[in-house]
């Protein structure tokens, strides 16, 4: 845990560097280079190739040749590893400008609410699949309030309607690898002989579904991803029209994606947030961006 706390602290410094050096006119690669330098200066290296992109809707996007421009957001998902190879993995998203647009802020707060609500459910004995579904429900409630979805949030999640916007899982183990023991196979790491990994769209990408135990180190990373190609396919198929307002999606075609990711230790009675200084409220993110652009 000492090593993990050390690497999470370096990872926080990487994100703060990204928040401070980003500005319109620079390429994503120019910022990623400065972010990665922090990991190397910390005495170790990267726990995975840095995701630094103005196209957050593309998961694990390693293309970095876009130029930052006003109105866009930068999604930064990165991690350091210590010399002993323990990994960190945090995500923040921030505006290229000093402030988010009103719509960006609304969507950001939906994701933040999903993270904060699901974090309170990180307890020993709790099935992680249920925490994932709780996050999905909170995201869905937010999208209903925003007018993109409709109907009952629990029913929409049961039908998988949220996966138009939240296609992936939202958690994984973290330790000596960023997706710890990934090469053993997710069935063995994240599930049990009695609990098979689902093959349903959305749940098939959930790396961790089994009950939490004290001593587990996990990441939680809810997000909303507006993928034009996927929206077009679902709209053409008239998929789950009882839950999705397809006529409201036009203004989201160039929106991108939003993810927020934190790292937790499961304790005997609950959890401990391992990233202790990196802010995530809109006002705090905007304050750093204001300072950076002054
Ligand atoms: N950076 C990879 C992940 O968040 O799982
Ligand atoms: Mn992660
Ligand atoms: Mn990540």
Burial class (CB in 10 A: 0-12, 13-18, 19+), 153: buried
pLDDT for position 22: 98
Sign of CA dihedral 234, 237, 243, 246: positive
pLDDT, tens digit, 9 for 90 and up, residues 87-131: 999 999 999 999 999 999 999 999 999 999 999 999 999 999 999
Mean pLDDT of the chain: 97
Using a pLDDT cut of 70, give the percent of the chain over it: 100
Ligand 1 atom, smallest distance to 261 CA: 4
pLDDT at 53 over 90: yes
pLDDT for position 213: 97
Over range 272-282, report the average pLDDT.
98
Over range 13-28, report the average pLDDT.
98
pLDDT at 46 over 90: yes
Using pLDDT thresholds of 50, 70 and 90, give the confidence band for residue 56: very high
pLDDT at 140 over 90: yes
Using pLDDT thresholds of 50, 70 and 90, give the confidence band for residue 78: very high
Using pLDDT thresholds of 50, 70 and 90, give the confidence band for residue 182: confident
Q: Does ligand 1 lie within 6 Å of residue 221's CB atom?
A: yes
Ligand 1 atom, smallest distance to 172 CA: 5
Kindly list the structural domains of the chain, giving each domain's residue range(s) and its CATH number in brackets, ordered by start. Answer: 2-292 (3.90.230.10)
Burial class (CB in 10 A: 0-12, 13-18, 19+), 21: middle
pLDDT for position 85: 96
pLDDT, tens digit, 9 for 90 and up, residues 239-258: 999 999 999 999 999 999 99
pLDDT for position 241: 98
Q: Does ligand 1 lie within 6 Å of residue 182's CB atom?
A: no
pLDDT at 5 over 90: yes
d(CA 238, CA 215) in angstroms, rounded, equals 45
Tell the residue nearest (CA) to atom 1 of ligand 1: 77
Tell the residue nearest (CA) to atom 3 of ligand 1: 89
pLDDT for position 47: 98
Using pLDDT thresholds of 50, 70 and 90, give the confidence band for residue 142: very high
Q: What is the DSSP string of 149-200?
A: B-S-HHHHHHHTGGGGT--S--EEE-SSSSSTTGGG-HHHHH--SSSPPP-S
pLDDT for position 169: 86
Tell which wins on pLDDT, 61 or 277: 277
Q: Does ligand 1 lie within 6 Å of residue 57's CB atom?
A: no
Tell the residue nearest (CA) to atom 5 of ligand 1: 179
Least confident of 10-24, 70-84, 135-149, 175-189: 175-189
pLDDT for position 98: 98
């Amino acid at each position: 845990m000492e090593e993990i706390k050390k690497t999470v602290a370096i990872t926080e410094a990487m994100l703060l560097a990204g928040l401070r050096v980003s500005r319109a006119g620079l390429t994503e690669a120019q910022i990623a280079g400065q972010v990665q330098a922090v990991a190397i200066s910390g005495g170790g290296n990267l726990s995975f190739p840095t995701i630094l992109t103005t196209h957050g809707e593309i998961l694990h996007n390693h293309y970095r040749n876009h130029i930052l421009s006003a109105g866009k957001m930068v999604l930064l998902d990165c991690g350091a590893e210590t010399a002993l190879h323990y990994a960190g993995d945090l995500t923040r998203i921030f505006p290229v400008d000093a402030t988010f647009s009103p719509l960006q802020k609304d969507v950001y707060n939906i994701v933040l609410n999903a993270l904060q609500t699901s974090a309170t459910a990180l307890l020993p004995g709790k099935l992680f699949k249920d925490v994932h579904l709780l996050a999905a429900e909170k995201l869905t409630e937010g999208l209903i309030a925003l007018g993109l979805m409709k109907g009952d949030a629990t029913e929409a999640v049961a039908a998988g309607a949220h996966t138009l916007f939240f296609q992936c899982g939202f958690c994984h183990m973290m330790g000596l690898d960023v997706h710890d023991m990934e090469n053993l196979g997710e069935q063995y790491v994240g599930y049990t002989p009695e609990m098979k990994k689902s093959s349903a769209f959305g749940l098939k990408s959930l790396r961790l579904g089994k009950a939490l135990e004290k001593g587990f180190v996990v990441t939680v990373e809810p997000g909303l991803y507006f993928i034009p190609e996927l929206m077009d396919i679902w709209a053409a198929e008239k998929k789950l029209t009882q839950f999705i307002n397809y006529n409201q999606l036009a203004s989201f075609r160039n929106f991108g994606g939003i993810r927020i990711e934190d790292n937790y230790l499961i304790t005997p009675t609950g959890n401990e947030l391992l990233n202790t200084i990196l802010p995530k409220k809109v006002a705090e993110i905007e304050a750093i961006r204001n300072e950076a652009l002054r």
